[in-house]
Amino acid sequence: MESDRARAILQMIQDRQEASVQPSEREELVSQGFLVSVDAPTRDGWTASVAGLAALRDRVREMSRVALATPGPVAPPELQQMVASLEELTRQKTNLETLVWNAPTQEYFLPTLAGRNVLADLTTWQRRLEGRTFPDFLREMYDYRAALFQAVSRASAIQGGLLWDEETRDAEETPMELSFTNVDFRFAAMILAKRAINPSLLVSAFQMFHHDTNWGSLNKVDRLIGSAILASLPWDFATVRNAFERLRVELQYHGVQPEDRILAAASLADIPQSAWAEVLERIDDLHRGRPTLNFLLASALARSPYEPAEALARFEDALTGMAARGYKDGIHIEAAASLLAAGPMARETMVERFSVAMSHLAGTFDPAFAPAAMIAANPLEPLEAIDVFRDCIAVVTRSSFYDLTLEIEELALILSYGVAPMGLGYLAANLPAAPPVQRVEPMAPPVSPLATSWYVWHGHYVYRPIGWYIATHPVHVHTVAAFG
């Protein structure tokens, strides 16, 4: 059975419409628990039983009043039995209301929770279903979600290694003000876990960058983000550190302030050395066109496939469009605008995609502008990207990979980057997006498939505010999650 046909059947039954399910289709859906088959005698039995529901409900109410007026901690056995019968009849009444007759097999169908869940998946990804059989779709969705759990399991192992190193290292080597917390290490571990290699290798790489690099800064968040990003690169330690140090020197000559050079160099560390001059020249052009741009915003635009003049025009369009919709919040709106302007979507759709993402992220981040722009600039369609993000929230939650509930969405956002089912996983801009988003062929500089700058933006505009909030508020205020 084709995936489109499975979606049509499940949708019609959900809408209580006859779907004319053929015997072969019926076997495939019923055997996997997406539909329940109910024969006519069972349905007639439910109808007869439900006829006495009103009378039973009245009797339960009357006996409950008597039981409440009678001393004792336990309800009478007769009342308990009647309550159980009332619950069963209520369930049967609900089932009767959702039964759908199927003429080809002469039976009724009842939708199940599993069926509703797979219908939600089919609806979200319906534009990608062409040519896919239903069994293939189910297998691909299972493999995709299993890979998410494997990534979080890998992140948990990495975090354990980082914590052990922190706890066993001499206190004189790491002053208290530079010590990392569980929350810090979870953030770094999730970035490192995006590489599907032995966790101990990733732990060792982080340790080398964290302890053996002359950072020239006492800002522990910059050191954390820098170490995680550099350790995530698939090259040997000496090569990466050499590139990082040389980039810091190059940035000095381009007027980047000392406090910005760690993140600036880390955000460019994945770009081939042959493209450094082009990238830095584009950043200089962007600064000349808009002197108030900070380096992170300029680097986002410089890495885009657009010439500096066009990138700035897209940036202005994004700012104007967001302001027209009431989004005004200084640097966070500018960060969102730079991410949108650098994205692969058409100028006409930037703000619309951002608004869709914002409507689904309300209450999850404070502020949510940069995360919404990260999702809107995703090569997937906005609702597809939101669905992936929700899957990642579910995996982080079920894996208990958090101490404070406000970590959940932040970690899920990292996990969601580059992830999609059905072979649609992407890094940077290597996924041809579905209409109306059109892929723009990259010009110089080349688009790196690693896109370490994404983690820099995440660390600066998502993790840093959360870290500050945790440091300035007592733990008991973090007990309520916001899932949107």
* Confidence at residue 355, expressed as pLDDT on a 0 to 100 scale: 93
pLDDT greater than 50 at residue 281: yes
The whole-model pTM stands at: 0.84
Q: For 19-69, how does the pLDDT look when each residue is reduced to its tens digit (9 = 90+)? A: 899 999 999 999 999 999 999 999 999 999 989 889 999 988 888 888 887
Q: For 312-345, how does the pLDDT look when each residue is reduced to its tens digit (9 = 90+)? A: 999 999 999 999 988 877 888 988 898 888 888 8
Mean pLDDT for the chain? Answer: 84
* pLDDT interval class at 405 (50, 70, 90): confident
Q: Tell me the mean pLDDT in the region 216-224.
A: 79
Q: What type of residue sits at position 465?
A: P
Specify whether the CB–CB gap between 192 and 237 falls below 8 A: no
SS3 133: strand
Cα-Cα end-to-end distance for the chain = 35
**Residue 478, Cβ density class (10 Å: 0-12 exposed, 13-18 middle, ≥19 buried):** middle
More confident residue, 257 or 200: 200
Reading across the β-sheet that carries 107-111, which strands appear in turn? 35-38, 107-111, 100-102
Weakest mean pLDDT among 224-238, 313-327, 430-444? 430-444
Query: Cβ atoms within 10 A of the Cβ of 105, count?
Result: 18
Report the alpha-carbon angle 465-466-471, nearest 5.
100
* pLDDT interval class at 430 (50, 70, 90): very low
* Confidence at residue 79, expressed as pLDDT on a 0 to 100 scale: 86
More confident residue, 408 or 294: 408
Instruction: Provide, rounded to the nearest whole percent, the portion of the chain with pLDDT above 70.
Output: 88
* Confidence at residue 295, expressed as pLDDT on a 0 to 100 scale: 81
Q: For 107-129, how does the pLDDT look when each residue is reduced to its tens digit (9 = 90+)? A: 999 999 999 999 999 999 998 88
pLDDT greater than 80 at residue 458: no
pLDDT greater than 80 at residue 437: no
Q: For 285-318, how does the pLDDT look when each residue is reduced to its tens digit (9 = 90+)? A: 988 898 888 888 888 888 888 888 999 999 999 9
Q: What type of residue sits at position 20?
A: S
